[in-house]
Structure 1
Amino acid sequence: MPEFRPTEAVHPLHHDLDQLDSASIVTALIEDQHQAVQAVQRAGPALARAAELASERLAQGGRLIYVGAGTSGRLGLLDATELTPTFSWPPERALTLLAGGLGAVTRAVEGAEDDMRAGRDDLQALSPTPNDVVIGVAASGTTPYVLAALELARQRGALTIGIANNPGTPLLTVPHCAVLLDTGPEVISGSTRLKAGTSQKIALNTLSSTIMVRLGKVLGNLMVDLQATNLKLQQRALRLVMIATGASEADASQALLQASGRVKTAIVMLGRQVSLDEAERRLETHHGRARAALEAE
C-alpha cells in the first residue's frame, strides 16, 4: 500500500459528487474551501516566526527563493512575481525554482518533482548565501525536488521555510521553520489544487506581505512602495500620496512628478516640506522606511 497522506484520503462526505446538480457541486466545493482559511489561521504563529526571521536575513540583502512543483511551484512563482509591482522588491531578489523549469508553468513535466539531483543543482546554480531565505512548498510534504533544494539551502546557511499540508512529513522536519497547513482530504479526492492550494496561496501571501511590512514597504496600511506602471496604478499612487499627507490633488501630483512617480519620496517631500534631494537622503538614511524618514528630526 502507498504511504497514507491525509490530502490523498477519500472525503467521507462527497461519495455522490458526480450525481449532484451544478449548484450542489459548487456549494460543496465552496464550503470545503473554508477549511483552507482555518488551516492558515492555525499556522499563524509559525508564519509570524518565519516572517520575523526572514525579515532579518532580507534586511541584510538576501533573496527570497521559492521552490516547488506543480500547483505549489506555480503559486510560489505567482507570489514572487507580484512582489515587484506591489512593493518595488527587486526581481533579482525574488526567484522561483519550479520542478521541470518554467515550461512546467503551463504543462506538467512528468517525473520532474521526483528529481532530487535537479532540485539540488537548480539551487546550487543560484549560489545560496546565509542571507537568503528559501521557501519550499509541497502539499504532500515529501516532494524530492523540494526537499533536496531545502537540504542544500540549509547546508549553505540560508534560512529555510517549509510549507506542507500533511503533518509529520519531511518538509516539516528539514527546514528551520515549519508551516503545517492541515487541510485534510479534498472534495475531489487527491486534487490538492483545491483547498490545499488555496491554503498555500493564503499562507504565501500572508508570509511575503508580513515580510514586506516588516521591511518598511508599507506606511500605516498604505502600499507606498508600488510601481506605478499603468494608468490605474498612477491614479492609485496619487491617491496614496493625498491620503498619507493630506495634500491637494495638484500638490500631490506635482510632488509625484518631481519624484518620478516614487510614492514614498513624494510623501516625505510633502510631509516634511523638504526638497527632492532631502527626501531621498532621509529615506536612504532610514533604509527606505517612510515612517522613520517622516518622524526623524
Structure 2
Amino acid sequence: MQTDRSQCGRGAAIDQLSDRDAMSAMLASHIAALESARSAIADISAAGALVARIVGAGGTVHYAAAGSSGLMALADACELPGTFQIPPGQIGIHMAGGVPTGGVMPGSTEDDREDAVRAARAVKENDVAIVVSASGTTPYALAFAEVARARGASVIGIANAANTALLEASDIAISLNTAPEVVEGSTRLAAGTAQKAALNMISTQAGVLLGHVHDGLMINLNPDNIKLRQRATDIVSRIAGVAADDADEALRRTGYNAKLATLVAAGADLSEAQALLTRNNGHLRACLHHIIPKTKNQNTTSIQGRNQ
C-alpha cells in the first residue's frame, strides 16, 4: 500500500483523520510553527531595531514577497499607519503580480524576476527591505533582495528553511524552520503562521523603540473612527491620570494626537508639549518627567490657596 507523504509528521494523513483529530493536528502544527520563532528571537530583535532606526531617520521600510508570503507581508505593512502612525510614504508594499483583487492570485508571478527588479527601483540607499519567502528560493523575492542591497538598502530576509539563497543574501537572516505542512506544500498554513508572528514582532518592537508604545498602550495610534477615538480617550485618561472628559477635551485641542493630548492633559500647554516631544524624539515617558512634578506643584499650590 502506498504511503501518502502528507503525514503531518504524526501518523495518518490529515484527510484520513476524524474531524476532531484533523483540527487537533492543524492546531498542533500552528503551535509548533510559532515555537520555530523562538530560536530566531535574537535575529528578530535585531530586525526590529534596524526598522526603527531606518524609519526614525526618515527612510522607508519595503515589504517584498510573493504568494501567501506576500499576503503575510501585506497584512503587516497595512497595520503600521493605524497602529503607530508610520507615514504611508515610509512604507513600500511590493507583491509579485500586485495586490490581488477578486480573490485571484496567479502563481506564475512569483517567478517574475523582471517585475521584482522594476519594483526594487523604488528602494533607496538607507532604506530597509523585509523580504519573505517560505522556501527561501522564490525568484521574485531573491531578485528584489539582490537589487535592494545593490542600491544601498539593508535587507531582512525571512525564510522557513535554513541556509537558503534568500538568507545568504540578507543582512539579517531570520530562519523559521517549520515542519512539513499538514497539507503538503500549502505554505499559507504553518509557514504563514510563523512568518506572521515574526513580522508582527519586528514591526511591534520597531514601534516600541520609536516611542509609539507607552505602558503597553498604543500612544501613537491614528484615531480615525469612533472605536479608536474612545480608545485614545481611555489612553490619555489612564496615562495623564485625568477624567475621560478632560482627556477628550485635550484630544480635541491637539487634533486627536494622543501624545500631545497626554502632555496637555497632564498640565503642559500646547507649545510646551510640542517642544518636549521634539526634544525627546517622540518618547512620551521622557516628556512626562518634565511636566508631572510641575503639575503636582501647581495642584498643591491651588489646594493650599483654597484652604487659606
Q: Counterpart of 1:161 in 2: which secondary structure? A: strand
Partner of residue 92, structure 1: 89
Partner of residue 38, structure 2: 41
Could you tell me which of 50, 59, 62 is aligned with 1:62? 59
Does 1:280 pair with 2:274? Answer: yes
Unaligned runs of 5+ in 2: 292-308
Partner of residue 11, structure 1: 8
Q: 1:166 to 1:12 in 2, by over 3 A?
A: same
Partner of residue 204, structure 1: 199
Could you tell me which of 121, 126, 133 is aligned with 1:131? 126
Q: Counterpart of 2:36 in 1: which secondary structure? A: helix
Q: Which one has more relative contact order, counting CA pairs under 8 Å at least 6 apart?
A: 1
Where does 1:132-211 land on structure 2 (aligned, <5 Å)?
A: 132-211=127-206
TM-score (norm 1): 0.92
1:9-45 Cα distance to aligned partner (Å, 9 max, x none): 7633243321222111111101111111111111101
Could you tell me which of 5, 29, 33 is aligned with 1:32? 29
Partner of residue 53, structure 1: 50
RMSD over aligned CA atoms reads 1.7
1:251-296 Cα distance to aligned partner (Å, 9 max, x none): 111111111111111111122x111222122212222221222224
1:26 aligned partner, one-letter code = M
Unaligned runs of 5+ in 1: 1-7
Partner of residue 116, structure 2: 119
1:219-258 Cα distance to aligned partner (Å, 9 max, x none): 1211100011111111111110111111111211111111
In 2, Cα distance between the equivalents of 1:104 and 1:17? 30
In 1, Cα distance between the equivalents of 2:102 and 2:125? 29
Partner of residue 292, structure 1: 286
Q: 1:161 to 1:295 in 2, by over 3 A?
A: same
Which segment is superposed worse, 143-152 or 106-115?
A: 106-115
In 2, Cα distance between the equivalents of 1:115 and 1:132? 23
Say if 1:172 and 1:179, in contact at 8 Å, map to a contact too: yes
When Rg is computed on C-alpha atoms for both structures, the one with the higher figure is 2
Partner of residue 213, structure 1: 208
Say if 2:59 and 2:90, in contact at 8 Å, map to a contact too: yes
Q: Counterpart of 2:100 in 1: which secondary structure? A: helix
Q: 1:37 to 1:12 in 2, by over 3 A?
A: closer
Say if 1:65 and 1:135, in contact at 8 Å, map to a contact too: yes
Partner of residue 107, structure 1: 104
How many percent identity over aligned positions?
37
Q: 1:137 to 1:269 in 2, by over 3 A?
A: same
Which segment is superposed worse, 101-110 or 220-229?
A: 101-110
In 1, Cα distance between the equivalents of 2:9 and 2:210? 44
Say if 2:96 and 2:116, in contact at 8 Å, map to a contact too: yes
Which segment is superposed worse, 253-262 or 104-113?
A: 104-113
Aligned residues between the structures:
287
Q: 1:15 to 1:21 in 2, by over 3 A?
A: closer
In 2, Cα distance between the equivalents of 1:105 and 1:169? 33
In 2, Cα distance between the equivalents of 1:235 and 1:254? 12
In 2, Cα distance between the equivalents of 1:38 and 1:27? 17
Deviating beyond 4 angstroms after TM superposition, the runs of 4 or more aligned structure 1 residues are none
Partner of residue 74, structure 2: 77
